[in-house]
Amino acid sequence: MCRAARPLHATCDTIQVAMLPVPPLACSQAWTAGAQRAFLRAACMAHALQADAVEPVHLLWALVWDEGHAGTRLAGLGLNPDSLQRQLGLPLLPATIDESPPPSLPWADAALSAAVAALSMAFEQQPHSEASTDHLLWSLCQPPLPTAELLRQCGLEASAWKVGQAGIAAEDTAPVPLPPDQTLRLREPATANPSDMYRLLDAAANRAREGLRVLEDYVRFVWNDQHLARLCKECRHDLASILAELPTMALLSARNTLDDVGTRVATAAEYQRSHPFDVLIAASKRTGEALRSLEEFGKVLNSQLGQRCEQLRYRLYTLEKAILRTGYNRERLAEQRLYLLLTEELCPRGAGPVLHAALEAGVRMVQIREKRMADRELVERCRWARRVTRQAEALLIINDRPDIAVVVEADGVHVGQSEFTIADARKIVGPDRLVGVSTHTLEQARQAVLEGADYLGVGPTFQSQTKHFNELAGVEFVRQVAAEITLPWFAIGGITVENVGQARSAGAERVAVSAAICAAEDPALAVSELLAQL
């Protein structure tokens, strides 16, 4: 009769003998490596012989192959795979047996009993110790197992010997079985060599520092992005604070670059970077991996060290997103200088003539901004604008309506501080469409970069015909953003041909304009004059 596998009944450090999992290998911490190999070989043999279950004879056959005490003892008795096969009447085995984990087989009651007896013997001799192949061999000598008679004929009887740490020795009495409700404590895992741990942590720390420095150097010296450079620097300093908890001399003493096998292993891809963007991606991934290694192995020394590395790793993920999206959108919007906000009621001659004239004069980014239009009418207006802008190879953005942006296949959506969040808009429009956001303070602009905005509206710069503001962010806000942020941004709010120079002097390289073009006598001329100053 075969017994189905039982679930492991255990706390974090105990196992009920009466609920031993099947196969015994599932409880790996209770067995030596040799015993675990024996269980695996027994299961492989049973599978190769197409047996219905793993039996004691399969365990004995596995022990014959053992190179430890049990195998040596059996070899001394003249038992080898061939002789055992003949004496037990086993079918002829295949020439080779696959020792990869076989499909799940049930374990016969007799095989289970042998495993339980081996565990009981190990615990009786020394609590918290592992059961070995010696203990398994002793258990297979127990009547009425079918292996007991064969082993008795070979000179092994359970009543005549015991299993000790040094192997098999004479014994006057058989051991007392462990009560079924007795629990076994798993042996505490061996502590890693401190020098090895410090060597690993030192290598991970170096990779993390180097990766952060690569990111910081690029955003600082190539982009002149003060905001992202400051965030990189803060991460570096926080990493240094974490690493200060580790003994510096222990890390240096454990370092062994000359014998590091990794220095002699390389792939062709490591030396190929076709674009600076590839460098940024590689550096951010390397830093994240290093922080994860510091986090996991740091827990071995200090749980707080692991927690602090985890928090820093999460910050890196946000920083990585901000850096990579900034790089992507700097290229995507590199040619955009003038952004037309098209509103029907601001166009005395109609939005159609204004849009055509603006596109012919050089506008390549248009936003449909209609606050009072009914949804169906708005959808039709946006579809018309999509056809026109697509012919001109211009970008089309929909104000405040990510759903309509998707319906009309626009290039993106623009949201304000009181409408959709960037994250919610992104859920609707997907990863590829642009999500722009209006900002009115420096803190809002910084936060929008971290949240994944593709571009910013920065303002209001001047009083506007389309909106009335109780407070103006003004030219000073434009100057602040210009000093810190290189994610593409547009100065917005009341910008005209007459005052665009002030915005430009404050650092604006791009502007968003509505009435200055929509209400102009000659929209094309207005576009040309604005572009000339940008």
Any known ligand binding at 321? no
Cβ–Cβ under 8 Å, residues 351 and 511 = no
Rg (the chain; Cα; Å): 37
The more confidently predicted of residues 97 and 516 is 516
453 CA to centre of own chain: 23
Residues 364 and 336: beta-carbon distance below 8 Å: yes
Question: 4-61 pLDDT, tens per residue?
Answer: 333 323 333 333 333 344 454 445 567 888 888 888 888 888 888 888 888 888 888 8
The answer on whether 129 is annotated among ligand-binding residues is no
Any known ligand binding at 157?
no
The residue range of the domain holding 355 is 335-533
Contact call for residues 458 and 473 (beta carbons, < 8 A): yes
Q: What is the pLDDT of residues 307-350, one digit of tens each?
A: 999 999 999 999 999 999 999 999 999 999 999 999 999 999 99
**452 against 119, higher pLDDT:** 452
Of 151, 123, 484, the residue nearest 322 (C-alpha): 484
Q: Which of 268, 303, 331 is the last residue of a domain?
A: 331
Segment 105-123 shows an average pLDDT of 83
Q: Could you tell me the CA-to-CA distances from 314 to 288, 289, 399 in Å, in that order?
A: 9, 12, 32
Tokens found for residue 228: 């992202």
Angle at 154 between CA 150 and CA 159, to 5 degrees: 85
Number of folded domains that form the chain = 3
CATH number of the structural domain spanning residue 291: 1.20.1260
Same domain, 173 and 206: no
DSSP string for 177-203: PPPTT-EEEPPPPPPPPHHHHHHHHHH
Q: Which of 305, 331, 357 is the last residue of a domain?
A: 331
476 known ligand binder: no
The number of angstroms, rounded, from the C-alpha of 221 to the middle of its chain's C-alpha atoms is: 29
Q: Same domain for 504 and 356?
A: yes
Q: Are residues 210 and 279 part of one domain? A: yes
The reply, when asked if residue 480 is annotated as ligand binding, is no
161, 168 contact by CB (below 8 A): yes
pLDDT band at 121 (very low <50, low <70, confident <90, very high): confident
Q: Which of these three, 159, 185, 211, is where a domain ends? A: 185
* Amino acid, res. 338: L
254-308 confidence digits (pLDDT tens): 999 888 888 777 676 677 788 898 999 999 999 999 999 999 999 888 888 999 9
pLDDT tens, 167-204? 444 343 344 444 555 444 434 444 567 888 999 999 99
Average pLDDT value for residue range 81-109: 67
- 191 annotated among ligand-binding-site residues: no
Task: Specify the DSSP element, H or E, that contains 338.
Answer: strand 338-342
- 393: number of CA atoms within 13 Å, CB side? 3
Question: Is 399 annotated in some ligand binding site?
Answer: yes
Measured CA to CA, the distance from residue 155 to residue 162 in angstroms comes to: 14
DSSP for 388-431, please give it.
Answer: HHHHTT-EEEEES-HHHHHHTT-SEEEE-TTS--HHHHHHHH-S
Closest CA to 347 of 528, 490, 493, 513: 513
Confidence at 80, pLDDT banded by 50, 70, 90: confident
- Residues 167, 100, single domain; the answer is yes
Would the annotation count 375 as a binding residue?
no
Q: What is the pLDDT of residues 453-471, one digit of tens each?
A: 999 999 999 987 666 666 7
Q: Kind of pairing, strands 511-513 and 365-368?
A: unpaired
CATH number for the domain including 133? 1.10.1780.10
Share of the chain above pLDDT 90, in %: 55
Q: Is 464 annotated as a binding residue?
A: yes
Is 233 part of any known ligand binding site? no
For position 175, what pLDDT does the model report? 42
What is the pairing mode between strands 489-492 and 511-513?
Answer: parallel
CATH number where 459 lies: 3.20.20.70
Same domain, 92 and 129: yes
Percent of the chain with pLDDT over 70: 82
- Single out the residue of 278, 383, 266 nearest to residue 328, CA to CA: 278
How much is the average pLDDT of 144-153?
Answer: 82
| 293: amino acid identity, one letter | S
392-399 average pLDDT score: 98
- Tokens 């100053």: give the residue: 533
* Shared domain check, 308 and 347: no
Q: What is the pLDDT of residue 176?
A: 45
Length of the chain: 534
- The whole-number pLDDT of residue 43 equals 85
**Which tokens belong to 348?**
């005395």
Q: Which two tokens stand for residue 339?
A: 């952004």
Please name the residue that has the structure tokens 């790793």: 313
- How far apart are the C-alpha atoms of 217 and 225, rounded to whole Å? 10
The whole-number pLDDT of residue 178 equals 44
Residues 313 and 387 in one domain: no
Based on the domain organization, do 54 and 88 belong to the same domain? yes
H-type helices in 303-418, by residue range? 303-332, 351-361, 375-391, 402-407
Residues 469 and 343 in one domain: yes
Stronger pLDDT, 213 or 125, i.e. the higher one: 213
Binding site annotation covers 466? yes
* Residues 223 and 274 occupy one common structural domain: yes
Mean pLDDT of 504-526: 97
pLDDT at 217 over 80: yes
Is 368 annotated to bind a ligand? Reply is: yes
pLDDT number for residue 100: 63
- 438 marked as part of a ligand binding site: yes
**What is the model's pTM?**
0.64
Mean pLDDT across the chain, nearest whole number?
84
Q: State whether 201 and 319 are in the same domain.
A: yes
Say whether pLDDT at 387 is over 90: yes
Q: Name the more confident of 139 and 410.
A: 410
Same domain, 372 and 475: yes
pLDDT (0 to 100) of residue 88: 67
Does residue 427 have a known ligand-binding role?
no
